[in-house]
Structure 1
């Protein structure tokens, strides 16, 4: 990915921010003329006496077709002291569909209100921590949820406009009202309009979508485990990832009143998202990646590399698009699943987020934009950093599968297989990637595996991979899976277990002041780990029927070879010396994709199959790691390897068990 284009823009932005910081922190009296500029906001404002209010912002859309434009509920908490002095403040915003139906965070907190309808509890810690430091916090109910009008359209125009309209209102461009149906106007006189959006899962997806509109006043976004393309949430190049579509999620989050008035929207979601996996206009509207060039905000992305709900492909393609456009960006990549960094690296996360918002919303020159771009979790609670990500020496390296000494147990190297060389496997919908990896050294009918010899030095893969497959099916339908595996003992976060890599503890820590109705104290967590014999670190799927078009599937011709490219999920993984790198190609990955209509046997053409992997150091690094490889340690090849627990079936709820 291009990195050089990023440098000029970052340097210019840094100068602007530094200048703004100097102006904002300049002392007003000569006596303080030589004081150092402030580098961190302090908790100097009263949380208990903060202003708590609700406003209804006009979205200028009529999603429910009732003849009047929809208003979304905006619950606000802001420090009283700046309001008294006339000083304007920036805003941190979390726009969500989950504030009433399901809750936010590891403890599923919901909004609460007093007898007058004024907000009492704001879920999560953003209000407790940042309001005393001079920020306003705004919690937006997306259209069709909680106290908002309209309908949920699952990532569509209404969802995005629900939050964009609030950014416009904060910047004096929109209309707000003191009640849901009244005419008394509410104006955001108290803010300078500088807004940062944050949120996990669906909430972070809305932040991506609003940033992709290029709205003025949105200075930064912090998407955590967020979707970048809703099609890729429900399908992988035609292969369905769930047994339902967006209408299920819409029904799940909508307020009871919205369900009755939004049947037409529900039907449009059904009609526009056929289970064939075709890329329709509905999905194109919900793809933010092509609009990365409109993004004005800086982006601090967080993603679990083992997130099996919002898979890391979403992060990878969004990151690559932002990089191509020179957008200021930073990333944390964890070993966890769909988990908020507040629950896997709490103290460091709050500290870093504080400095990020101070820089991009208050203009403090604290140097965060000059620090390493990436934090990567290498082992549970052990992190490394990279100045840029992926590292500059990363190069796409093409590895080739080859035949081994037993059927389905082949080699993986830089050398192409001889023309006509093939392996055969039969789709088994009762097997998954953990079954395949556990039997990597044995011939089994449902997969073909290809392995390097044990490495003589570490080999790092950093970024997104693809696998190009040419296969001949025996039936008119077939699904394909490809996974990358690190074969060797390790201790990892148990991402497939309950908690997705964390265990929630009874003890609490507090992050700012609280009130009787809004505590700042949250349950602590620790890493939930597992000793394994292998680690699956990247995966991807496709419907072979989409071989001719990523947008449209078609029946296969039995006995005819078809070629398709599978997009594997972004990752950053080091295969240690002594371990082996493996590529597995198979059919249905149980619980992660739905099976095809038939049960095909596929003949894999090895000469026309390859993996394009982001190797740090490129092909020379691969050669050094595999040349003169040591003899593998003695092991009973018939003993199944011990991997993580079988992945549980996941319903399509961006937010999972730890919303």
Structure 2
């Protein structure tokens, strides 16, 4: 289909670079050359126009966990309240036009954008691609996940609906209208881009008819922290929100632009570092601002969650908890869970993904009765047969079975990384995991819960509870649920390319186990995630925490096992302090979503 390409600068409602003018963000439009108005699919992309690869320096995770006296922090102390709106003067444009022609950039500029939008162009949708605050060509500062970032992207939808202004260039003299748009807008894309779909939807902005977040973050705290621990994406240990903000601040790639904003950028970085509070790992107002789940009731758009069950970057609960909240509120929703990692599944063989998306958008943006509203609400790819897609109406689909461990008195976990096979320099995580799961060792406790008499589906969010006495003022507590049994298993690795037809690979030879899920807690956060409690080494305390959700079928004859341990070399900080954790094994209870 013949297309038009344009660039505009949308006027936001924030002034993060503090120059007395509303920040402008660069927006690129590729739309069908038609005589009729068309709906738009909007991608809010903080990675657009490249990133600061040389600035991506991770924190050292080989550090001890800081201990705190009891803090007595209350929930109201960590509640974020909306900031006062910024008021800047507006100058009237000298001219108003209906288009802003611009040469299409090199495709590499569309960082993290899939080929879905070429497909949608052929189906009569405009693609709208926006860089964010602080990206190259735009004004402002990267304040990742913040209210300002969300409001800036919301302004694009306001412009598409005639409620905000856009300009041909940054002089603000020629105003550009979006008269080609019907006003019906969807937001889509993966990861940070999908996160922005969720954040903008919680503003309740008019005209946003639907969002399709793929591996989107619904709660930034649960992305970078967990129950009082610093715990970012697996394989990205040492990452944090201030690093991501610095990485995405592509204004720095333009030396002429960066020079004027550098002092304010450096001040903003310090503000982010103070707010994220790596030392305590507590939930606070900074993270509360970035917790979109608590505003799910404001969402007016329908929501189609797409999430990988083996995604340990944006973990499954980011999508699943959002879906659960929408389900509770009775919002229009759908969810697709696949066996992949952090990928798009439009071209996954035997997947319903692309067909569902086409019918979903046609219904919500064009008003075509595609029958999608009468479809099953949840699609889940089976791990034993990747061609099998299970369908459900509610999540979790399974009831819970409670396992009480048949323990043998009190047993000790000695959390000492130097006594394991792990080498801090080599980072041999697979060897560490094999040792943890397959051997009797001093740094973990392992309990077989049940050997399955038939294929048994584990679908939902498990929970573990136990009593323990800790001989240090703080500790990392971890747990995993493992399926044990020799078998050639499905992997989340691709046989093919996600931009073309692909399937998931099978293992080349049988493996002995599969980690279904994990969970973690800072022992000082036993009551909540925002306040530390002092630990008396002579006192027994009860610890309870959730595992990450999963949908996994355990084969007949295989065993479901629970492992309790301390630091997790795949996820947590790696202290040097040796910590003894005495567990009352008779107190261990594990609730699992199986029947």
Aligned pair count? Answer: 518
Moved more, 155-164 or 551-560: 551-560
- Is 2:571 aligned against 1:592? yes
Q: TM-score, normalised by structure 1?
A: 0.74
Q: From the superposition, tell whether residues 329 and 492 of structure 1 become closer, same or farther in structure 2 (CA, over 3 Å).
A: farther
Q: Aligned residue for 2:556?
A: 577
Q: Aligned residue for 2:271?
A: 268
- Is 2:308 aligned against 1:304? yes
The offset of 1:346, in angstroms, is 8.3
Q: From the superposition, tell whether residues 149 and 158 of structure 1 become closer, same or farther in structure 2 (CA, over 3 Å).
A: same
Q: For residue 8 of structure 2, give the secondary structure of its aligned residue in structure 1.
A: strand
Could you tell me which of 26, 36, 59 is aligned with 2:12?
59
Q: Aligned residue for 1:527?
A: 504
Q: Aligned residue for 1:409?
A: none
- Is 2:526 aligned against 1:538? no
The offset of 1:120, in angstroms, is 5.8
- Is 2:494 aligned against 1:502? yes
Deviations 1:34-61 (A, max 9, x none): xxxxxxxxxxxx2xx3111011111110
Q: From the superposition, tell whether residues 88 and 309 of structure 1 become closer, same or farther in structure 2 (CA, over 3 Å).
A: same
Contact 2:13 / 2:152 at 8 angstroms: preserved in 1?
A: no
Q: For residue 494 of structure 1, give the secondary structure of its aligned residue in structure 2.
A: strand
Deviations 1:547-590 (A, max 9, x none): 13320234422232222322211111121221111111111110
- Is 2:382 aligned against 1:378? yes
Report the RMSD for the aligned CA atoms in angstroms.
2.5
The offset of 1:292, in angstroms, is 1.0
Q: Aligned residue for 1:79?
A: 32
Contact 1:194 / 1:219 at 8 angstroms: preserved in 2?
A: yes
Cα distance in 2 for partners of 1:374, 1:438 equals 37
Moved more, 279-288 or 329-338: 329-338
Contact 1:437 / 1:485 at 8 angstroms: preserved in 2?
A: no
Could you tell me which of 121, 125, 131 is aligned with 2:115?
125
Moved more, 205-214 or 259-268: 259-268
Q: Aligned residue for 2:414?
A: 426
Q: Aligned residue for 2:527?
A: 548
| 1:302-451 to 2 correspondences below 5 Å | 302-342=306-346, 344-345=348-349, 348-379=352-383, 381-390=386-395, 392=397, 394-403=398-407, 421-429=409-417, 435=432, 440=437, 442-451=439-448
Q: From the superposition, tell whether residues 475 and 59 of structure 1 become closer, same or farther in structure 2 (CA, over 3 Å).
A: same
Contact 1:489 / 1:534 at 8 angstroms: preserved in 2?
A: yes
The offset of 1:503, in angstroms, is 4.4
Q: For residue 488 of structure 2, give the secondary structure of its aligned residue in structure 1.
A: strand
Contact 2:349 / 2:502 at 8 angstroms: preserved in 1?
A: no
Q: Aligned residue for 1:17?
A: none
Deviations 1:513-552 (A, max 9, x none): xxxxxxxxx4554423324221111111111111133202
Q: TM-score, normalised by structure 2?
A: 0.82
Deviations 1:92-126 (A, max 9, x none): 111111122259xxxxxxxxxx9965546454223
| 1:188-227 to 2 correspondences below 5 Å | 188-227=178-217
Cα distance in 2 for partners of 1:391, 1:479 equals 28
Moved more, 198-207 or 63-72: 63-72
Contact 1:306 / 1:537 at 8 angstroms: preserved in 2?
A: no
Q: Aligned residue for 2:245?
A: 250
Contact 1:344 / 1:502 at 8 angstroms: preserved in 2?
A: no
Cα distance in 1 for partners of 2:321, 2:118 equals 34
Q: From the superposition, tell whether residues 564 and 439 of structure 1 become closer, same or farther in structure 2 (CA, over 3 Å).
A: closer
Q: Aligned residue for 1:514?
A: none
Cα distance in 2 for partners of 1:599, 1:554 equals 20
Could you tell me which of 97, 100, 103 is aligned with 2:49?
100
Cα distance in 2 for partners of 1:554, 1:234 equals 21
Q: For residue 461 of structure 1, give the secondary structure of its aligned residue in structure 2.
A: strand
Q: From the superposition, tell whether residues 596 and 328 of structure 1 become closer, same or farther in structure 2 (CA, over 3 Å).
A: farther
Q: Aligned residue for 2:151?
A: 161
Contact 2:403 / 2:591 at 8 angstroms: preserved in 1?
A: yes
Cα distance in 1 for partners of 2:102, 2:363 equals 37
Cα distance in 2 for partners of 1:299, 1:460 equals 26
Structure 1 segments unaligned to the other structure (5+ residues): 1-45, 104-113, 405-420, 496-500, 509-521, 616-620, 622-659
Q: From the superposition, tell whether residues 116 and 211 of structure 1 become closer, same or farther in structure 2 (CA, over 3 Å).
A: closer
Q: For residue 550 of structure 1, give the secondary structure of its aligned residue in structure 2.
A: coil
Moved more, 157-166 or 250-259: 250-259
Q: From the superposition, tell whether residues 172 and 491 of structure 1 become closer, same or farther in structure 2 (CA, over 3 Å).
A: farther
Contact 2:120 / 2:126 at 8 angstroms: preserved in 1?
A: yes
Q: Aligned residue for 1:283?
A: 287
Could you tell me which of 170, 173, 184 is aligned with 2:163?
173
Moved more, 51-60 or 601-610: 601-610
- Is 2:134 aligned against 1:144? yes
Moved more, 466-475 or 193-202: 466-475
Contact 2:324 / 2:395 at 8 angstroms: preserved in 1?
A: no
The offset of 1:454, in angstroms, is 2.1
The offset of 1:599, in angstroms, is 2.1
The offset of 1:204, in angstroms, is 0.5
Q: From the superposition, tell whether residues 389 and 433 of structure 1 become closer, same or farther in structure 2 (CA, over 3 Å).
A: farther
Q: From the superposition, tell whether residues 346 and 98 of structure 1 become closer, same or farther in structure 2 (CA, over 3 Å).
A: farther
Cα distance in 1 for partners of 2:150, 2:318 equals 17
Q: From the superposition, tell whether residues 469 and 134 of structure 1 become closer, same or farther in structure 2 (CA, over 3 Å).
A: same
Deviations 1:52-81 (A, max 9, x none): 101111111011222211011110011111
Contact 1:493 / 1:502 at 8 angstroms: preserved in 2?
A: no
| 1:425-504 to 2 correspondences below 5 Å | 425-429=413-417, 435=432, 440=437, 442-495=439-492, 501-504=493-496
